[in-house]
Amino acid sequence: MADPSKADPSKKVDREKDQAAIEPEASRRRIPAWGWVGCAFVILAAWFLFAHRTTKSTVRASISQRSVPVVGATAHKGDIGVYIDAIGTVTPVYTVSVTSRVQGQIMSVNYREGQMVHKGDSLVEIDPRPYEAALTQAQGQLAHDQAVLNEARIDLERYKAALDRNAIAKQQYDDQVQTVAQDEGTVENDQGTLANAKVNLVYCHITSPIDGRVGLRLVDPGNIVQANSTTALVVITQLQPITAIFSIAEDYLPQIEEQLHAGHRMTVDALDREQKKKIASGFLLTVDNQVDTTTGTVKLKAQFPNTDNALFPSQFVNAHLLVETQHGATLIPSAAVQRNAQGAYVYVLTKDETASIRNVTVGTTDRDTTAVEGVVAGEVVAVNGFDKLQDGIKVSLRKGQGAASLNPQGGQ
């Protein structure tokens, strides 16, 4: 067998050349597979991007071609109030806890729970018989002592006549003078006892000290009440008029004091929790005499006629204090004002039925009405459909809800 190491060198060189030729060819067969995958990915991405842009362009074209239905409102000149809002608590002008001033048994309760009563109406009757007897006794004692006093005065007149004739000693006359004075004191004491008996008898008939509404019944007939007890027999609260106390920041004090010093009566509205419904309307009664340093607020009290009893003691309300009224402002609905990073703007509906973005400066806002600068009275602004509106887009006013002037509070 021939030794491989001694093989022909030329054949070895040929084998190496053949091997070198085979390896590049295999490499060329693997490269096209990865290349095709990359090309397919690039083509797919390009198709997706083209389709997305085409769809977006189609949607934009579709939106620009159709009109967006909106509700419009006409900006107009009018008056708008500058208000301060605060949370208040309704408080009655008078609250009376009626107690008994005499001791005795309750004979009757003459009111119904929740009844409106007037001053002097009977509420509770206490057994008057012991006090009637005391009154009779006081009257009898007074009559007796008055008779004694009259007798002493007659004797005094006799002693005076006798003294003038020197029939008696002056000491006897002086003693009779003092006897008359003692009897007069006794009569005055009896008169006081009689007056006290009369008062106690009156206290047996408990009446309402004010006009107002009684609460729930606290006692029943047959119970014994004590004189000057702290237990109330009935509680009465005055409802007409009624007041509300609310706190505002001390920063508003200069404006309020200026109006009060000028003699202006400042209107206060009581609104419900959602600040949509006005419960009652009244006026500012007074301002507290000091600022609460812990909160930086000051208390104000407003008074309401409350003729319909819409306000109830301890009820929470939203106080709406009118500080001043701005005249000749351009007013639009508050819903028309939109905001972005650049500030406030509105969509003005032009005569060619397109929406145009207009930057505005927002002034005073009174619930559903806002004063703005940048819109001319008579121009129509959109109040809804903002999710579809764009600058220059076609719009159409809804039937029956077209441009119409607002009717804000105080804007006639």
Between residues 402 and 16, the one the model is more confident about: 16
Would you say residue 14 lies in a domain? no
Stretch 337-366: mean pLDDT, rounded?
A: 89
Q: Which two tokens stand for residue 176?
A: 């009779």
Q: β-pairing, 343-349 with 355-359?
A: antiparallel
CA distances for 378 relative to 17, 326, 395, 406, angstroms: 95, 19, 18, 11
Positive or negative, the Cα torsion across 176, 179, 185, 189? negative
* Position 104 pLDDT exceeds 70: yes
- pLDDT digits over 178-201, tens only? 999 999 999 999 999 999 999 999
Structure tokens at 250: 């001390």
Does position 7 have pLDDT exceeding 60, yes or no? no
* DSSP state at residue 164: H
For residues 201 and 126, give the distance between their C-alpha atoms in angstroms, rounded to a whole number: 9
Q: Is residue 190 part of a domain?
A: yes
Count of structural domains, the chain: 2
370: three-class secondary structure by DSSP? strand
- What is the per-residue pLDDT across 200-249, written as a single tens digit (0 to 9) for each? 999 999 999 999 999 999 999 999 999 988 889 999 999 999 999 999 99
Q: What is the mean pLDDT of residues 257-278?
A: 89
* Size (the chain), residues: 412
Whole-number average pLDDT of the chain: 84
Residue 139 pLDDT exceeds 90: yes
Q: What number of other Cβ atoms are within 10 A of residue 48's Cβ? A: 10
Among candidate residues 203, 228, 246, the one where a domain is terminated: 203
User: Which CATH number does the domain housing residue 170 bear?
Assistant: 1.10.287.470
- Looking at 203, 225, 258, which one is the last position of a domain? 203
pLDDT digits (tens, 9 = 90+) for 148-165: 999 999 999 999 999 999
* Terminal Cα distance for the chain, rounded: 127
Residue 234's nearest CA partner among 216, 252, 212 is 216
180: closest CA among 200, 165, 158?
Answer: 158
The dihedrals phi and psi of 360, each to the nearest 5 degrees, come to -135, 160
**Shortest CA distance to 392 belongs to which of 65, 71, 72?**
65
Q: Report the distance separating Cα 137 and Cα 142, nearest Å.
A: 9
Range of the domain at 135: 129-203
Which of these ranges, 18-27, 243-252, 366-375, has the smallest mean pLDDT?
A: 18-27
> Is 234 contained in some domain?
no
pLDDT recorded at residue 324: 86
Q: What is the Cα gyration radius of the chain? A: 49
The model carries a pTM of 0.64
Look at residue 301 in the predicted model and tell me its pLDDT: 96
Going by C-alpha positions, the residue among 401, 366, 400, 370 that lies closest to residue 384 is: 401
CATH code for the domain in which residue 347 is found? 2.40.420.20
User: Which of 121, 93, 131, 80 lies closest to 409 in space, CA to CA?
Assistant: 80
Q: How many CB atoms lie within 10 A of CB 226?
A: 12
Residue 318: HSE in the Cβ half-sphere, 13 Å Cα cutoff: 13
Q: Do residues 128 and 198 touch, judged by C-beta distance below 8 A?
A: no
Instruction: Work out the number of other CB atoms within 10 angstroms of the CB of residue 299.
Output: 17
pLDDT at 188: 96
Q: What is the pLDDT of residue 81?
A: 86
pLDDT tens, position by position, 390-401: 888 888 887 544
Residue 359 within a domain: yes
> Is 319 a member of any domain?
no
Per DSSP bridges, beta strands 212-214 and 116-117 are: antiparallel
For residue 311, being part of any structural domain is answered with no
Answer yes or no: is pLDDT of 1 > 50: no
Residues of the chain with pLDDT > 70, as a percent, come to: 81
Query: Tell me: the pLDDT tens digits for 287-330?
Result: 999 999 999 999 999 999 999 999 999 999 999 999 888 888 99
Tokens of 95: 């609250």
Q: Are strands 316-333 and 267-271 parallel, antiparallel or unpaired?
A: antiparallel
64 within some domain: no
Query: How many of the other CB atoms lie within 10 Å of CB of 319?
Result: 24
Q: Which among 152, 186, 203 is the end of a domain?
A: 203
d(CA 244, CA 331) in angstroms, rounded, equals 31
Those residues with Cβ within 8 angstroms of residue 46's Cβ, 6 or more apart along the chain or in another chain? none
Residue 365 lies in a domain: yes
pLDDT tens readout for residues 29-88: 555 555 666 666 667 766 666 555 655 555 454 544 577 888 888 999 998 888 899 999
